């Protein structure tokens, strides 16, 4: 009997995801299997009922796209002349298969450190200097997975996988080769990373919010490794100019999905109540960074605990649990505008503080999100071979607004009164601040 | 991050952006990153940003987050400068005057006049040379140049060596411009 060397998994976004037996072993490992029980979008299913998809299928999706992108950017006919010198690894054809596999493995393991309910639980609940990326790194380098990496033929260096999976930021002074930095950018890049490509398409599909779609086939087909700019020979991930519209569409999709889905006002309220519950329920109010503890905790355990606590008035976390189970979430009473930000110094904090003084700290929550990237930019090679800045030539990229969201949320029983109060007092509150 | 307050750090960044424009720089993010690195690493102004060897040489994720936050609070904005890319400018709420220590003002002027107007390629080489020299004080200039080429293959050894020598010249220029008693 012939042992199957390649396996297929059906996927609603990419139709089929194919993986070899080594990749199947990593897929079957406990850290990756755990992702079957971690929601991709936390409690967004309470807003968009279809958003029940998990990190597991997203991991498969990133792996699939990573392989496709690698094949395009390393194809000899797509290589910019300078890349042969600036990325010497490109010329070692015997090593290309190895690095392709490393990239796909890194993509598969990129999110294994995620906590229950993904980003919702991370903020405030991990000790300083810890993040899900750091946990991913530790898991990739752990003894459990090392035995799989070393058992491959040829053996895979887990440090290669870890560096590419989580990127430079988690590795401090550890040296990254240019090649490793470029491969990591293919997964984690702010603009052209496959992590973002997959989650936009997948989240759009499952929520039913159409604005997350873009032509990823065209975009991937035009991706190239290029000098970062006219003024730098350092390689970066870019595109040839035929893909500019699809790149613009991706960035517009990101903006709309951030505004409509990821920072939906009700979703943000549930994130807050989830944090409140976890702080009461967890011993010491923090999530453990011990890898074994981490592996035991998924959304299942947290949801069971929320359901139980909601029914027991004396249980720790009863109030936030009740809010989650009974849809008594906080409601927005103030949304910060650009006009307010231009006219006043930190209007969101001023309004939130005034509400706290008027209604009590336990009835008010300040919810804010600041885009943590500066400007969407990447190199573009035009029809003459000249490398230019995407931001410099794209009217669309120059106009896409930053995602800056600020709201004051309040107990639903006080919301109507608070809205009227803020409307009447707003100018005085902001002028005083 | 170090002990410098956020307000003072942001004031320095705002004044640095203004000074860079005044010197003729197109003030891309790479220019700001390297200029701040020189202010910390060469001129001793401890703003508290940690740098690692990454994009175009020394790079600070803290500084990137700070620039992003300043864009969010409208202290900074960007304008397109085709075909180069985005250029940082003061935003609607930027440029509020805070008096900074004279050493900081001198450092901003030095960086503006001597470094900010250079091309990204040159800034990358100079800042990388400074970082590698600082981390490998026992190495000769040639050894640092070879190391630079190994880590960054797109920088040929002769160019790396020239960068190491230029950093030495900048140190000498900085020392000559300092008044007695300055750090």
pLDDT digits (tens, 9 = 90+) for A273-304: 999 999 999 988 889 999 999 999 999 999 99
Contact: A229, B84; criterion CB under 8 Å: yes
Q: Quote the CA–CA distance of B128 and A302 in Å, as a whole number.
A: 47
| pLDDT (0 to 100) of residue A361 | 97
Work out the mean pLDDT of chain A and round it to a whole number: 95
Q: Quote the CA–CA distance of A388 and A383 in Å, as a whole number.
A: 11
| pLDDT (0 to 100) of residue A127 | 87
Min Cα distance A377 → chain B (Å) is: 7
| Residue written as token pair 């809010």 | A323
The ipTM estimated for the assembled molecules is 0.91
Of the candidates B54, B64, B82, the beta carbon closest to that of A374 is on B64
| pLDDT (0 to 100) of residue A230 | 73
| pLDDT (0 to 100) of residue B1 | 44
How large is the angle between the packed helices A158-166 and A143-151, nearest 10 degrees? Answer: 110
* Residue A426 CA: distances (Å) to CA of A404, B92, B113: 20, 21, 46
Q: Which residues of B touch A87 (CB under 8 A)?
A: 153
pLDDT digits (tens, 9 = 90+) for A215-237: 999 999 999 999 998 778 899 99
Q: Which residues of A touch B153 (CB under 8 A)?
A: 85-88, 178
| pLDDT (0 to 100) of residue B180 | 56
Min Cα distance B112 → chain A (Å) is: 19
Degrees, nearest 5: CA angle A170-A176-A180:
100
HSE at residue A275, side-chain half, CA atoms within 13 A, is 17
The stretches in chain B having pLDDT less than 50 are: 1, 181-183
Provide the 3-class DSSP secondary structure of residue B122: helix
- pTM of the predicted model as reported, rounded to 2 decimal places: 0.94
Q: Quote the CA–CA distance of B113 and B99 in Å, as a whole number.
A: 21
- And the tokens for A93? 């054809």
**Of residues A388, A407, A384, A406, the one with CA closest to residue A397:** A388
Phi, psi torsion values for B143, nearest 5 degrees: -65, -40
Average pLDDT (A28-42) is 97
Of the candidates B78, B81, B124, the beta carbon closest to that of A234 is on B124
Contact: B68, A86; criterion CB under 8 Å: no
Hey, is the C-beta of A371 within 8 angstroms of any chain B C-beta? yes
Total Cβ atoms within 10 A of residue B166: 16
Interface size between A and B, measured as CB pairs under 8 A: 106
Question: Checking DSSP bridges between strand B85-90 and strand B76-81, what pairing results, if any?
Answer: antiparallel
**Of residues B36, B32, B31, the one with CA closest to residue B122:** B31
How large is the angle between the packed helices A347-359 and A415-432, nearest 10 degrees? Answer: 130
pLDDT digits (tens, 9 = 90+) for A99-146: 999 999 999 999 999 999 887 767 788 988 899 999 999 999 999 999
Of the candidates B29, B82, B153, the beta carbon closest to that of A374 is on B29
Q: Is pLDDT at A204 greater than 50 in this prediction?
A: yes
Give percent of chain A with pLDDT exceeding 70: 99
Q: Quote the CA–CA distance of A125 and B32 in Å, as a whole number.
A: 33
**Contact at 8 Å (CB) between A316 and A281?**
yes
| pLDDT (0 to 100) of residue A4 | 64
- And the tokens for A226? 């290029």
| pLDDT (0 to 100) of residue A414 | 98
Q: Quote the CA–CA distance of A316 and A322 in Å, as a whole number.
A: 11
**Contact at 8 Å (CB) between B39 and B109?**
no
- And the tokens for A344? 């006043």
Of the candidates B72, B83, B119, the beta carbon closest to that of A393 is on B83
HSE at residue B99, side-chain half, CA atoms within 13 A, is 1
Secondary structure, 3-state, chain A: CCCCCEEEEEECCCEEEEEEHHHHHHHCCHHHHHHHHCECCHHHHHCCCCCCCEHHHHHHHHHHHHHHHHHHHCCHHHCCCCHHHHCHHHHCHHHHHHHHHHHHHHHHHCCCCCCCCCHHHHCCCCCCCCCHHHHHHHHHCCHHHHHHHHHCCCCCCHHHHHHHHHCHHHHCCCCCCHHHHHHHHHHHCCCCCHHHHHHHHHHHHHHCCHHHCCCHHHHHHCEEEEEEECCEEEEEEEEEHHHHHHHHHHHHHHHHHHHHHHCCHHHHHHHHHHHHHHHHHCHHHCCCCCHHHHHHCCHHHHHHHHHHHHHCCCCCCHHHHHHHHCCCCCEEEEECCHHHHHHCCCHHHHHHHHHHHHHCHHHEEEEEEECCCCCCCCEEECCCCCEEEHHHHCHHHHHCCCCEEEEEEECHHHHHHHHHHHHHHHHHHHHHC
- And the tokens for B107? 């450092």
Hey, is the C-beta of A52 within 8 angstroms of any chain B C-beta? no
Burial A180-205, CB ≥16 within 10 A → b, else e: bbbbbbbbbbbbbbbbbbbbbbbbbb
Q: Quote the CA–CA distance of A118 and A114 in Å, as a whole number.
A: 5
Contact: A374, B81; criterion CB under 8 Å: no
| pLDDT (0 to 100) of residue B183 | 43
* Residue A74 CA: distances (Å) to CA of A154, A186, B9: 21, 12, 42
| Residue written as token pair 């690894």 | A89
pLDDT digits (tens, 9 = 90+) for B86-134: 999 999 988 767 888 888 999 999 998 889 889 889 999 999 999 999 9
Average pLDDT (A44-64) is 98
| pLDDT (0 to 100) of residue B119 | 87
**Contact at 8 Å (CB) between A118 and A42?**
yes
Hey, is the C-beta of A173 within 8 angstroms of any chain B C-beta? yes
| pLDDT (0 to 100) of residue A232 | 81
Nearest CA in chain A to B149: A86
**Contact at 8 Å (CB) between A220 and A192?**
no
Of the candidates B53, B64, B86, the beta carbon closest to that of A377 is on B86
């Amino acid at each position: 009997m012939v042992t199957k060397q390649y396996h297929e998994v059906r996927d609603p976004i990419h139709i089929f995801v194919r993986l070899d037996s080594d990749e199947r072993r990593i897929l079957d490992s406990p850290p990756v299997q755990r992702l079957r029980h971690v929601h991709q979008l936390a409690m967004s299913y309470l807003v968009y009922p279809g958003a029940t998809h998990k990190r597991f299928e997203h991991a498969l999706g990133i792996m699939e796209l990573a392989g496709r992108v690698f094949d395009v950017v390393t194809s000899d006919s797509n290589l910019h002349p300078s890349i042969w010198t600036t990325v010497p690894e490109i010329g070692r054809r015997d090593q290309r298969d190895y690095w392709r596999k490393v990239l796909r493995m890194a993509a598969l393991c990129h999110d294994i450190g995620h906590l229950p309910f993904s980003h919702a639980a991370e903020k405030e609940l991990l000790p300083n200097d810890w993040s899900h990326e750091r946990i991913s790194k530790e898991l990739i380098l752990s003894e459990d997975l090392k035995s799989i990496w070393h058992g491959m033929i040829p053996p895979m260096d887990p440090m290669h996988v870890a560096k590419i999976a989580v990127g430079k930021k988690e590795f401090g002074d550890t040296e990254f080769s240019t090649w490793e930095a470029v491969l990591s950018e293919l997964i984690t890049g702010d603009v052209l990373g496959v992590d973002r490509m997959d989650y936009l398409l997948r989240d759009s599909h499952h929520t039913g919010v159409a604005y997350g779609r873009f032509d990823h086939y065209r975009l991937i087909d035009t991706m190239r490794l290029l000098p970062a700019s006219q003024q730098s020979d350092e390689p970066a991930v870019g595109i040839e100019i035929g893909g500019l519209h699809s790149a613009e569409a991706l960035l517009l999709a990101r903006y709309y999905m951030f505004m409509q889905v990821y920072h939906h006002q009700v979703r943000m309220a549930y994130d807050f109540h989830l944090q409140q519950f976890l702080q009461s329920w967890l011993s010491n109010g923090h999530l453990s960074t011990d890898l074994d503890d981490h592996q035991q905790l998924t959304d299942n355990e947290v949801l069971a605990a929320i359901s139980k606590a909601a029914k027991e008035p004396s249980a720790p976390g009863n109030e936030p649990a009740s809010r989650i189970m009974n849809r008594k979430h906080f409601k927005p009473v103030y949304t910060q505008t650009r006009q307010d930000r231009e006219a006043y110094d930190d209007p969101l904090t001023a309004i939130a503080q005034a509400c706290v003084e008027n209604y009590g700290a336990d009835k008010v929550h300040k919810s804010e999100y600041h885009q943590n990237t500066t400007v969407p930019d990447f190199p573009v090679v035009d029809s003459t071979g000249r490398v230019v800045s995407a931001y410099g030539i794209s009217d669309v990229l120059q106009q896409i607004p930053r995602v800056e969201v600020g709201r004051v949320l309040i107990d639903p029983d006080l919301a109507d009164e608070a809205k009227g109060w803020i409307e009447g007092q707003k100018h005085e509150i902001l002028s005083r601040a | 991050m170090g002990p410098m307050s956020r307000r003072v750090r942001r004031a320095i960044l705002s004044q640095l952006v203004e000074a860079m424009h005044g010197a003729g720089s197109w003030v891309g993010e790479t220019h700001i990153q390297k200029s701040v690195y020189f202010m910390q690493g060469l001129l001793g102004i401890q703003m508290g940003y940690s740098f690692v060897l990454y994009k175009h040489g020394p790079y600070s994720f803290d500084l990137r987050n700070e620039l992003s936050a300043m864009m969010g609070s409208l202290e900074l904005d960007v304008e397109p400068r085709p075909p180069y890319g985005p250029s940082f400018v003061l935003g609607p709420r930027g440029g509020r005057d805070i008096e900074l220590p004279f050493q900081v003002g001198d450092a901003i002027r030095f960086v503006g006049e001597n470094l900010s107007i250079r091309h990204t390629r040159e800034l990358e080489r100079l800042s990388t040379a400074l970082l590698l020299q600082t981390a490998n004080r026992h190495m000769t200039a040639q050894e640092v140049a070879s190391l630079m080429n190994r880590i960054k293959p797109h920088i040929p050894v002769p160019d790396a060596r020239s960068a190491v020598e230029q950093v030495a010249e900048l140190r000498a220029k900085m020392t000559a411009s300092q008044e007695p008693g300055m750090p």
